A = this chain, B = another copy of it.
Amino acid sequence: MSEGERVQDLGEQEILKRLYAFCPIDVVGDDAALLSLAPDHFLVVTTDMLVDQVHFSDRTTHPADVGWRAAAANLSDLAAMGATPLGITVSLGLPGHLPIAWVEELYRGLVGCLNQYNTTIVGGDVCRSTLTTVSITAFGQVHPTRTLKRANAKPGDAILVTGVHGASRAGLELLLHPEKGHHVDQTTRDRFIRAHQRPCPRLDVIPVLWEEMRNFAPVREEAGFAPVPEWKIAAMDSSDGLADAVVQICRASGVGAVLERDRLPIPDGLMNWVSEAEAIDWVLYGGEDFELVLCLPQPIAEAMVNRLGAGATILGKITDFSPSPPTVILNDPTGTYPSTRLTLEKGFQHF
C-alpha cells in the first residue's frame, strides 16, 4: 500500500472530511458528539490504544483487519459488562508518509465490525505522529440490575465459557509462519485466520443470558426487580487469554476455581496440527479470542449451554474464598495428567 495520496498531501480538515464519510452525518462536526441513553441506564466506557509494530504490522495485518479487531476488542469489553453499544470515538496519530488509503481501509474495517452490532463512529481526532497510533473509546449502556462485574463470582458458581479458544493464536501462527501449517486443510486454515483477523465480540450472548435468567426468576422480573441480588453474575472477556480471565475474576471476587482439562474448548482441527500440550497452551494463554467467561448458578449455565449448543462450555466451578494470587487449578478428571495451578505469569506484559 504505497501508491496514491499520502496523509501529508492533505490538511487535517480534508482528512477529517474523508473520514466523516464513515460516520453518521448528524453526529459529527461539533466540538463533541451527542448521544442519548435509555432511561435509568448506566453509561459504560472502555478504551484501547493500538500502536504500529506492537499491536499490528503490515506483515500480518491489513488495515481493514486492524480496524475490525480494534472495534471488536472494545465491543467485547462492553459485552463483558453486559452493555449494549452506543458508539465509539477514534483518535489517530498519523505519519505524513502514510497513504490515506490505509486510513480509509482502517475505517472500513471499524465500520464493518460496528455495523454487525448496529453501532457507529461518533467522533474522533486526527493528529500528526511519527508512529501510526489508533486509540478507540467505546460507549455502551446497561441497566444497573443487569451489570456484569468481575467481582461477582461466588463459590459454587459454574464457569461458563463461550466459543472456542486458541483459534486466534492459531491464525496468527499461520500468518507468521505459513510453512508450519502446510498440512492444515484450506477450510481449517481460513477459519483460524478469520478468527484472528475478524473476531466477533459476544454481544449476542447478553440477551440470551437475561432470557434464561428470567426463566429462573419470572415473578421478580415482571415486577421489575430482576435479577435477584444473590444471582449477580461475574463476567470478563477473554481478550488476554482464557486463563487470564478466570484468574482476574477470581482475584476480583476473592475466590478460587477448578477447571476440568477435558472440557477446555479446543478448536476443531487444532490437535491435528500441533501437540496437545501446545494446543492447551494456546487455549489457555493464546488470547484475542474475545469470548466471554461467565460465573453463574449451575442451572442457568446449563440452560445457556442448551441454548448456545456447541457455542458454550461449562469449564468448571468457582471454589471457596482464596488468597491473592488466587488458587486456580486445572484438574484432569481422567487422572492422566497431574493437577496444575494456573498463573498470570504467561500473561505478564513486559514494556
Contacts and interface: CB of A to CB of B under 8 A. Distances in A.
Interface of A: 7-8, 10-13, 15, 29-37, 39-51, 53-55, 76-78, 80-81, 83, 86-87, 89-94, 96, 122-125, 127-131, 133, 135, 137-140, 142, 147, 149-151, 235-237, 252, 344, 348-351
Nearest to A32: B46
Given A77-B31, A80-B31, A127-B54, A139 B43 contact: yes
Contacts of A122: 45
B351 A31 contact: no
Contact of A54 (B34, B129, B237): B129
Nearest to A50: B127
A40 B41 CA distance: 11
Nearest to A76: B31
Contact of A51 (B45, B46, B55, B93): B93
Contact of A150 (B7, B30, B350): B30
A123 B78 CA distance: 13
A49 B135 contact: yes
Nearest to A350: B11
Contact of A96 (B37, B78, B90, B351): B351
A13 B29 CA distance: 37
A113 B199 CA distance: 38
B89 A32 contact: no
A32 B33 CA distance: 20
Contacts of A138: 32
Which of A10, A123, A127, A344 has the largest number of chain B CB atoms within 10 A? A127
A233 B157 CA distance: 54
Contact of A128 (B15, B54, B93, B123): B54
A349 to B, nearest CB: 4
9 contacts: A29-B150, A30-B81, A30-B149, A37-B41, A43-B86, A47-B89, A49-B127, A91-B135, A93-B133
B43 A12 contact: no
A48 B13 CA distance: 15
A43 to B, nearest CB: 4
Contacts of A15: 351
A351 B140 CA distance: 33
Contacts of A11: 348-351
Nearest to A90: B47
Contact of A45 (B33, B42, B49): B33
**Ordered nearest first, which 8 A-B pairs have the shortest CB separation?**
A135-B135, A32-B46, A12-B349, A31-B80, A137-B137, A49-B91, A31-B77, A47-B89
Contacts of A96: 351
B92 A32 contact: no
Contacts of A142: 34
